[in-house]
Structure 1
């Protein structure tokens, strides 16, 4: 028996009254068994004669979303849950990619046969709310208890290339051990080019789950490496063979540091998904250029200009997984300036330096990346209590009121017009020069800005 929302009982009773047996399947059951909160529920309906019949039954419970009706799925928002209803189905491969399946719907097959199409045993557990019993034909409960990720069926698993990435994010999210047989299947699929069959949108969705829903994304990233999948996300595969200075990075390679950095960033997620995926991908890519810049200088390993050179490498990497230009443009400045807080602190930079930095990157987000970079490593001596450079920059940027955004310009076009100037192309030159002077702290008030302007005319 699993915890079951009593508010759904009238809906279950309505299905029962029509001789339909509802079986709750997939993630809801899995998550209930590990006390993981979820608001999504999938219900397979045994004995259903048609989707039209189902629409009539469900109509009193709320508005139905019939977008998936052609695929045999009706969606209902009810009592705080999003519920997908469908008859049990069997899928057979007929083409390449994640969508290359023919689907057959049945009302009378048994649960074990229907569940055989599922990817992992932990997702092939069902729950009958009428009899309050669990259905577990493939041993998913035991695998969940022992924290193992096991595929249901070798033959059906390899038909869907997306399952490779699902394995990666499941291992990370639920901190599981990948079964050796499953690992072998995924390796073979990658060697056969399975990931190349996937559209970038589906790849990105699985990466987002890995980076946003797991406390230790490194578990999934390391599994991807074991599978031989890093080359698909090149040049990540080069990070493991790129050494670092053992004094500043005693943890070892750039890959090891990157994994530690990503895990550190996961502990600082903001719960704003768009912002968090920017931060997580910036942490993953912050040292992406080190394999191309690492050299030995006077006997010490160094990677000069890796932040600057990382911009284009990171851009190409991101374009491989998403077309979201605003997302990409949000990540690149964090890659470019990830080491700047330390440099500014070391050089005891001026307020003007900090004001200029605020025009290139959100300093608050940069401080999170800088902190993840600082603590995402081992230390020769005791673990520092705080990130001194970050604390210093936070205080200075807060005092200057540029923690979230650059300062607004003190001189505007209306000020030029007030002085009798006619709008022209010269306006931009004057305003750009004024803003640069403002950042250089040649003036700090509007009145001072206007006085400065007079000297430029």
Structure 2
């Protein structure tokens, strides 16, 4: 669904209409926080006081198709607008009339962090701060709204990692202590993935990494009993900050910056130690399977797997131009090059810096701007009486490998003609 950029000023007719219907709309959460931090506001969250669900839906209906989702805390949207409307987080069984300030205070205590519990009236711009979130914002401090808020929604632990990475905040000590004790193993993995994506694409993911270390919650798969220990701490953990830092300035030049950051996070777990081939393959398989279970994204997992395959073969497939072309056929060459640059701290730790720099220069020199198209087609082989069955793809792959080695088309055809003739004579 395409949405228009969030802009409270263009929504004034809608806000005035809601007020005329008896509502008090207040901007809340990230949009207020980011505006106060002079950051770009991407979408708006509006909490509506004074209406029930039915009346809110009726009030929104004149402005477009009203969408509805969520069970615990229903959210309303108008198709095409990057705005979410919700009712306050107040117990529906509480029928006692209360002042707006009291209702705002109750709603604030149901939110995650105090810097996300700031409210602003869209017309008067009046700011409401029931939990001293403004002081935390000025101190660049992330503090939970209540002692139980993380227990109520454990995903907020992962949200804390990405928020401090995006905003450059620190986590208040009591909040950090509470984060250590929260169980998150039951959370849906796709929800965790959303927060980890935001963390890796944040301005400073190293802050989140440090908080993960402090709270003993690293984004690493658990080793199966048959393969213990899968990832020895001494082998890779100390390299992660340097590799992530090296990957940060490369993100803007890569079409899939998210995949680059995931690869930069995971590659040291694969390449930090000199493993026997079978063990290295097993480790890669487990990492890729873990990523699949976390992301639920087959294509992205396949891309990551192919990237890691290219990485594992890079040292011996970077000495000849045909082999460089083979690497580029295996994965996105720009992504592979960026990952190799990001992994320079790892090469340095293994005393392979000089060799990898030389290999990178060869790769950059021989990397084709456009992959060569196959000079032979299925119709060429059919003319030589090759059957159009399941073996055709294998023969075409052989022909392409010969082409990469510099064999001309006529010579390739001559080879296949002679082969077919010899097979016919044997029969």
Q: Is the 8 A contact 2:259 2:304 kept in 1?
A: yes
**Which residue in the other structure is 2:419 paired with?**
456
**What's the offset of the Cα at 1:427?**
2.9
Following superposition, the deviation at residue 308 of structure 1 comes to 4.6
Summarize the Cα distance change of 1:271–1:206 in structure 2 as closer, same or farther, 3 Å threshold: farther
Alignment of 1:270-285 (within 5 A): 270=252, 275-285=256-266
Which residue number corresponds to residue 170 of structure 1?
163
The reply on whether 1:216 has 2:198 as its aligned counterpart is no
Q: How does 1:261-276 map to 2 (within 5 A)?
A: 261-270=243-252, 275-276=256-257
Question: Match for residue 354 of structure 1?
Answer: 324
Counterparts of 1:344 and 1:432, CA distance in 2: 18
CA distance in 1: counterparts of 2:93 and 2:348, whole angstroms: 51
8 Å contact kept, 1:169–1:220: yes
Take 1:272 and 1:77, find their aligned partners in 2: how far apart are those partners?
Answer: 31
Q: Normalised by the size of structure 1, how large is the TM-score?
A: 0.78
Deviations 1:286-328 (A, max 9, x none): 121357xx4xxxxxxx556586554223123314413322221
State whether residues 87 and 105 of structure 1, in contact with CA within 8 Å, keep that contact through their aligned partners in structure 2.
no
After superposing the two structures, state which structure 1 stretch, 68-77 or 361-370, moved more: 68-77
Structure 1 residue 233, shift from structure 2 partner: 4.0
Report the CA distance between 1:41 and its aligned residue.
Answer: 1.0
1:21 aligns with 2:29: no
User: Is residue 259 from structure 1 mapped to residue 251 from structure 2 by the alignment?
Assistant: no
Q: Secondary structure at the match of 1:66?
A: strand
Post-superposition CA distance 1:205-251 (Å, at most 9, x none) = 11111112x1221211221111011286446x9868325xxxxxxxx
Tell me how far apart the structure 2 counterparts of residues 59 and 151 of structure 1 sit (CA, whole Å).
Answer: 35
| Contact persistence 2:150–2:179 (CA under 8 A) | no
**Contact 1:173–1:210 under 8 Å retained in 2:** yes
Q: 1:218 to 1:320 in 2, by over 3 A?
A: farther
TM-score calculated relative to the size of structure 2: 0.83
Q: Does 1:186 align with 2:179?
A: yes
- Helix, strand or coil at the partner of 1:85: strand
Give the counterpart of 1:60 among 55, 59, 62: 62
Q: Distance in 2 between matches of 1:195 and 1:15?
A: 39
> What is the alpha-carbon distance in structure 2 between the residues aligned to residue 183 and residue 255 of structure 1?
21
Residues of 2 paired with 1:318 and 1:25: CA distance?
A: 34
CA deviations on 1:178-202 (whole Å, 9 max, x unpaired) are 111011001111xxxx111101111
Classify the secondary structure of the residue corresponding to 2:269.
coil
Kept in 2, the 8 Å contact 1:151–1:157? The answer is yes
Matched, 1:110 2:103: yes
Alignment of 1:75 onto 2:77: yes
CA contact under 8 A between 1:157 and 1:163: conserved in structure 2?
yes
CA distance, structure 2, for counterparts of residue 104 and residue 418 of structure 1: 82
Correspondence 1:396 to 2:362: no
The alignment status of 1:330 with 2:298, answered yes or no, reads: no
Unpaired runs of at least 5, structure 1:
92-101, 244-253, 295-301
The 3 A distance-change label for structure 1 pair 371 and 316 is same
Which of 402, 416, 436 matches 2:401? 436
Residue in 2 that maps onto 1:86: 86
Q: Structure 1 226/456 Cα, relative in aligned 2: closer, same or farther at 3 Å?
A: same
Kindly report which structure 2 residues correspond to 1:123-272, keeping only aligned pairs within 5 A, or say none.
123-189=116-182, 194-212=183-201, 214-230=202-218, 233-234=221-222, 241-243=233-235, 254-270=236-252
1:98 alignment partner in structure 2: none
Cα contact 1:307–1:338 (8 A) shared by 2: no
CA distance in 2, matches of 1:105, 1:41: 29
Distance 1:34 1:233, change over 3 A: farther
The structure that is helix-richer by fraction is 2
Aligned residues: 405
Provide, for residues 67-115 of structure 1, a one-character-per-residue CA deviation record: whole Å limited to 9, x for no partner.
448854311246xx41111221236xxxxxxxxxx99899855211111
Give 1:38 shift.
2.4
Native 8 Å contact 1:342 1:390 kept in 2 = no
User: What do you get for the CA RMSD once the two structures are aligned?
Assistant: 3.4
Structure 2 residue runs of 5 or longer lacking an equivalent are 1-5, 224-228, 421-427
Mapped to 2, the partners of 1:187 and 1:198 lie a distance apart of 16
Over residues 27-80 of structure 1, what are the superposed CA-to-partner deviations in whole Å (9 max), with x where a residue is unaligned? Answer: 1101111122123111111111x33322332233222213448854311246xx
Work out whether 1:5 is the aligned partner of 2:11.
no
What secondary structure, in the 3-state scheme, does the structure 1 residue paired with 2:148 have?
helix
Q: Is the 8 A contact 2:254 2:334 kept in 1?
A: no
Contact 1:166/1:206 (<8 A) preserved: yes
